Amino acid sequence: MKVEFVQKDFTETAGDGLILALTPGDLEPVSKRDNTPRLAVLFGDNGTEIERALKGSDFSAEKNQLLTLYSIGKYRVVLLVGLGERSQLSTEKLRRAAAAGVKAAQAAKSNSVVLSALDPTIEQVSDYDTVHSLLEGAILAAYKFDKYLTADKKKTRVEQFTVAIKSIKSDIGKKAARDAGSVCDAVYLTRDLCNAPANEIYPEALANVASKIAKKYHLRARILDEPEIRRLKMGGLLAVNSGSARPPRFITLEYRGNYRSRDWYAIVGKGITFDSGGISLKPAANMGEMKMDMSGAAAVIGTMQTLASLKLPVNVVGIAPSTENLPGGSAYKPGDVVTTMSGITIEVDNTDAEGRVVLSDGLYYAQRYRPKAIIDLATLTGACVVALGQHATGMFGTAEDIMAQLKEAGEKTFERVWQMPIYEEYEKQIKSDIADVKNVGGRWAGAITAALFLKRFVGDYPWVHLDIAGTAMLEEESDYAPKGGSGVGVRLLTQFFKQAAS
């Protein structure tokens, strides 16, 4: 994948396809005397073709409108994409316009595109955000998981992305392009991990990916195997793993971007590489989607790559306890009592509530870093999907300032979060008669009781839990995320740490 910015007008740049994001104002006449659309004038010698095409269509640059033209100047295909009214322009509208353009370009079998927008339009958005947003939308929309398709079944994918806007200074544009490329590369990695089948990505394989990332980006990796996990008495991870023939792994990646600071953040991701439900077996329908139950761990690995690539001045440890949850002969059972690394005991009421059992050890381990905050990501509950659908991540926690910053980061990236309550009245639902806590709280408020379960293992450290069950595993594609693994969390956390660094 090649990503670049050039300080040139789009008419001075050659490419297979041109994606031009426009507002209705860009189509207005040059003057009262001259009815030629402003856009047509910009195309110079090819302006007549543009004017004719506009008059022969109903394209008015309203949001989501798309007009495809062929053989205009240096471009084989030109895609005019509507942004809607200029006064309401946002970074998200730029992303979606670029995404729509790339999908149309791929349908037209283009493998390289130039993206641009006109100066009056982009005055509403900073130069950096303009370039970054156009590239984000375009690159993320171009993603396809086609590894297992034979060559003749693979569709054309755009591999080269160039933003050409003459009014944006080269240094700003190039930095935005580099940053966008780094972020999108990490989202691609995260999506690939989530979409890969469970016979390819299992705990040891996930740990190997993390080790390779650490080596490439100069992170410090520590991968705990089963004997080390037993030595640390990580009873939650071992219990969930007990039914699987594949051993567990406990993954840690450290990024130290600010040697002058002793502050650390910890991000913890649920890494269930396949979740059958264990003895409390899930229904067969759609069980294959449970290869994505490690989306939290994948997002942690992707985020760690991005932090190192962008060289952000923050210190972050990424933690990912990983196992399969299978109903083998030695599998843990409803009614079992599990002793976790913290010493807290869990009564197992349902083996399909395994993510929180595994995270109990991950969250407790995070306390070793005396973190400024602990943030966990997990495809934890169907209840959160019922509550918020697939457009918002459920957010729970004890750190109001961190949650406010995450909400701001969510609005910026459009990986939006919504704060949910964790009132103490809900705690009685996870009260056990024979252990310190029960791993399910009954039918009502399932996402809340799951969050309250996790709260037991973070001590007094500021903590935020992100339930990404709805946003990480998509039932249908969105503007720039595919059906399946969305890679959610990487862009959100990267923006959060950008804010923290500043």
Question: Which residues participate in catalysis according to the annotation?
Answer: 282, 356
Given a contact cutoff of 8 angstroms between Cβ atoms, the answer to whether 467 and 417 are in contact is: no
In whole angstroms, give the CA distance from residue 37 to residue 28. Answer: 5
Alpha carbon of 53 to those of 37, 80, 312: distances in Å?
A: 11, 11, 47
Burial class (CB in 10 A: 0-12, 13-18, 19+), 496: buried
Alpha carbon of 82 to those of 19, 64, 202, 229, 255: distances in Å?
A: 11, 5, 43, 54, 41
* DSSP classification of residue 476: S
From start to end of 39-106, where are the E strands? 66-72, 75-82
Question: Edge-to-edge, what's the strand order for the sheet holding 337-339?
Answer: 337-339, 345-347, 437-438
37 token code pair:
């659309």
CA 246 to chain CA centroid, nearest Å = 27
Q: Which helix (H) or strand (E) holds 5?
A: strand 2-6
Closest residue by Cα to residue 492 from 377, 388, 397, 362: 377
In whole angstroms, give the CA distance from residue 342 to residue 349. Answer: 20
Given a contact cutoff of 8 angstroms between Cβ atoms, the answer to whether 496 and 393 are in contact is: no
Which residues share a beta bridge with 338? 346
Q: How many CB atoms lie within 10 A of CB 154?
A: 11
Given a contact cutoff of 8 angstroms between Cβ atoms, the answer to whether 281 and 327 are in contact is: yes
